């Protein structure tokens, strides 16, 4: 009987050790699952973010180039090919290169003649690019340079639309539209930044001018 006591103690110690190992393995699996879930969420959010951005660009193209009509890439291509065959067509395009000319005209028409359509044109050119500013602010990582990036990218996108309208004759190349669109992008940047600051104040979290990467 005396010889069985040490063996019984060893057996109990072994069982306790096995239980500790099992608990540790369960803890490790839980940690790994949590870490894996935390990695998937930002990736999923980023995919949704990009998908919404693509939809936004489609709708923006539909609005600016096709004036709300069906998007027809073939039409744009045909117009460009026609311009290559007849370069003189460029002289038939309508161009405004005088800053604030159309803005002043629209403002005068709104204030004197009370035409609501001019307000739609002025405000619409700004609002159309506000989502772009929000999205770009989410994509850019560095806070200090975010405003510069949004300013440049908003200008570049608007310039692309204006040049396309000039080359295809599907609209007017207007420097005022270029300025208003760029302003809209910067408004989006400010909206995003203000929301982050408010989130930091109310939740005490760390504010970042980045999307989940």
Say if residues 131 and 194 touch (Cβ distance below 8 Å): no
pLDDT given for residue 45 in this prediction: 83
Task: Let me know: does 135 contact 49? Beta carbons within 8 Å.
Answer: yes
Answer with the residue of higher pLDDT: 2 or 76. Answer: 76
d(CA 20, CA 8): 19
Q: What pLDDT, on a 0 to 100 scale, did the predictor assign at position 121?
A: 85
pLDDT at 10 over 70: no
Q: For residue 111, is pLDDT > 70?
A: yes
What distance in Å separates the CA atoms of residue 22 and residue 12, rounded to the nearest whole number? 15
- The model carries a pTM of 0.75
For the record, the structure tokens of 109 come out as 């028409």
Predicted confidence at residue 144, as pLDDT, reads 63
pLDDT at 213: 43
CB 175 within 8 A of CB 96: yes
At 146 the pLDDT is 84
Whether the per-residue pLDDT at 6 is higher than 60: the answer is: no
Closest of 84, 98, 77, 42 to residue 170, by C-alpha: 77
Interacting residues of 148 by C-beta distance below 8 A, sequence separation 6+: none
Neighbours of 127 (CB within 10 A): 14
> Measured between alpha carbons, how far is 38 from 65 in angstroms, rounded to an integer?
41
The pLDDT value recorded for residue 108 is: 83
Q: Which long-range contacts (CB under 8 A, 24 or more apart) does 165-169 make?
A: 165/64, 165/65, 166/90, 166/93, 166/95, 167/79, 167/80, 167/83, 167/90, 168/65, 168/75, 168/76, 168/79, 168/80, 168/83, 169/79, 169/89, 169/92, 169/93
Q: H helices of 65-100, where?
A: 73-85
Q: So what's the pLDDT on residue 49?
A: 85
Of 111 and 126, the structure prediction assigns the larger pLDDT to 126
Task: List pLDDT tens digits, range 33-90.
Answer: 555 555 567 788 888 888 999 999 999 999 999 999 999 999 999 999 999 999 999 9
Q: Give me the mean pLDDT over the 134-141 stretch.
A: 83
Identity of the highest mean pLDDT range in 9-13, 33-37, 143-147, 150-154: 150-154
Span 159-213, pLDDT tens digits:
999 999 999 999 999 999 999 999 999 999 999 999 988 988 888 655 444 444 4
Q: Is the dihedral of CA 198, 200, 203, 208 positive or negative?
A: positive
């Amino acid at each position: 009987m005396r010889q069985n006591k040490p063996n019984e103690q060893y057996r109990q110690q072994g069982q306790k050790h096995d239980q500790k190992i099992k608990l540790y393995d369960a803890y490790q699996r839980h940690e790994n699952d949590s870490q894996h879930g935390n990695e998937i969420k930002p990736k999923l959010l980023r995919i949704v973010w990009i998908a919404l951005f693509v939809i936004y660009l489609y709708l923006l193209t539909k609005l600016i180039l096709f004036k709300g009509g069906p998007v027809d890439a073939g039409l744009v291509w045909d117009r460009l090919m026609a311009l290559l065959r007849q370069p003189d067509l460029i002289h038939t395009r309508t161009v405004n290169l005088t800053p604030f000319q159309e803005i002043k005209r629209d403002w005068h028409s709104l204030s004197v003649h009370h035409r609501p359509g001019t307000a739609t044109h002025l405000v619409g050119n700004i609002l159309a690019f506000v989502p772009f500013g929000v999205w770009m602010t989410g994509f850019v990582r560095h806070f200090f340079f975010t405003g510069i990036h949004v300013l440049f990218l908003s200008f570049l996108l608007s310039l692309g639309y204006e040049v396309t309208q000039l080359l295809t004759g599907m609209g007017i190349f207007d420097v005022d539209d270029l300025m208003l669109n760029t302003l809209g992008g910067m408004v989006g940047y400010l909206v995003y930044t203000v929301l982050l600051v408010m989130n930091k104040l109310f939740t005490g979290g760390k504010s970042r001018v980045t999307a989940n990467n």
